[in-house]
Each structure stands twice: as C-alpha cells, then as structure tokens.
Amino acid sequence: MQQQIAVITLGIAELERSKHFYCTGFGWQPVFENHEIVFYQMNGLVLGTWLKNALDADTGRASQPAGAFALAHNVARQADVEPLMQQLLAAGGQLLRAALAPPHGGYCGYVADPDGHAWEIAWNPAWAIDAEGRVTFSL
Amino acid sequence: MQQQIAVITLGIAELERSKHFYCTGFGWQPVFENHEIVFYQMNGLVLGTWLKNALDADTGRASQPAGAFALAHNVARQADVEPLMQQLLAAGGQLLRAALAPPHGGYCGYVADPDGHAWEIAWNPAWAIDAEGRVTFSL
C-alpha cells in the first residue's frame, strides 16, 4: 500500500476570506476554483478549501472548526519564520503561539487560518526540502 | 513561496490503537516512534500521530477531535476502494459514509480513524498518482 495522502480538505466558512489568507498570506496560486471550493496543487498532494457545510454533507457528520490536527509549512531559514507569520497575520490569520526554539531543535510558531485551522510555520534544519517542496523525515 | 505542506499532525488519544489502524489498516510503516508520537514518511510530506494533550499544549489551544477537515488516500482502481475500507474498519476505523459514485466522477467513501479523523478512500481516474505516490490535480 502506498504511503500516500492525495488531498487535505479544510472546511471553511467563506471562500474569499480563506482565499485571501492562502493567496496573500502564503502567496499561493489556486489550480482550480468554483463557487464552493478552491484547490491548490502542493508538493505531491492537493490542498482543498471547501465550504464547511458541503464538507460535512460529504463526510456525513457535523464537524468542529478547530480540529485536533495541525498542518506545517517548513521554511529554509530560521529568519524566514517570523516574517511569514507576520504576513499570515496581516492576511487574516490569528496568532496561536509565538515562534520559539523547542528543546528538540529548530524554530517554529503557530498561526490559525481564518477558519481556525492550525498552521505551524517551522524551520527544521534536519528535514530536507527539495526544489519541488518535497519533505523527508530525518533525525 | 513554495506551495508546500511539510507535516500533517493528527491528535490521538492512544498510541497503540492509532498505530494499529495505520499499520494494519493501511499497511504503512513508521519511520520513527517514541512514547508520544509516531511519524510516517509519506509522498513528499510527513504524517505525525501525536498524543492530543501534547499537540494541544504545542498549538496553545484545546482542540476538538472531529475537526472540519478530511484527508484522502487515493487508490489506482475503483475495485480497490471497498476492500481498503473494509480493512480499515477491521483495524478499528468507523464507517462515516459508504462508498458511492458522486456526480463529478470517481468512487469514494469515508472512514474515520479511531480518533475521529476522516479519511476519504477514493478512486479518481483524472488525478495521476506517480510511482512515489505523488498526486497531481487535473479536471
């Protein structure tokens, strides 16, 4: 069985507010959008942002906005963490935890997107990132 | 800015129960584990399963188990969807929605992992999956 995740779909309340965060905060470009969903082509998988009512109908349950999960975007240099966090806050994000240097190394903080989904912005010098954004675990 | 997600971290209640689901249900192998977290190397990103209390402490908020998001694992053939869903249910998953053929094409259903995180098991003939599991958006 492939160790493969094809899509991460986040439930959102408003398309435009979410798109502003991802396009202006992260600077990403959609690969597709319509009246209820925006897709972004990522590093070997697809990120979808879909109206929460539609996602709930599709999965068959009522979900909670701030779920027990976090996504991470890794940057190449420690000095990149705080400017990106500031850019995300300026684009409608909410600060969850200021950046700090955890005991196991690196430097990272958390910003929630406008729908409450947690994004860790991390510098992790041990984990290689290739030119296409693919990330490899290492100790 | 790279369109890149480095890690998806899921909050879990018990390591062994979660590991049974991912290792026996999906057949995946951890790349690292200790007393509070298990990491899996995926298709250009890393999946982490981390005790929810530790994740909540790290993100700085109390999260809800069944968050407004879904992960998808795509399979190569329509006939692969139901056997994998059955295997996930046998490994401690919970059926959210039986597999069906949606109007936009393909074939897919949803199973929650033992901590309530939704996984869509999908056959989507339009989206290419390469030998390393990397998935490309297409209409």
Q: Give yes or no for residue B20 having a pLDDT over 90.
A: yes
So what's the pLDDT on residue A104? Answer: 83
Tokens 């986040």, residue located: A10
CB contact under 8 A, B43 and A4: yes
CB contact under 8 A, A43 and B68: no
* Contact residues, A window 58-117, toward B, CB-based 8 Å cutoff: 58-61, 63-74, 84, 96-97, 110, 115, 117
Nearest to B68 among A11, A32, A41 (CB): A11
Encode pLDDT of A16-70 as tens digits.
999 999 999 999 999 999 999 999 999 999 999 999 999 999 999 998 878 899 9
ipTM: 0.89
Parallel, antiparallel, or unpaired for β A7-12 and A46-51?
A: parallel
Q: In which element (H, E) is residue A12 found?
A: strand A7-12
| Eight-class DSSP state of A104 | T
CB contact under 8 A, B69 and A11: yes
Encode pLDDT of A66-91 as tens digits.
889 999 999 999 999 999 999 999 99
Tokens 């402490």, residue located: B57
Q: To the nearest whole angstrom, how far is the Cα of A89 from the nearest Cα of chain B?
A: 16
- pTM of the shown model: 0.91
CA atoms B72, A115, B17, A135: torsion sign: positive
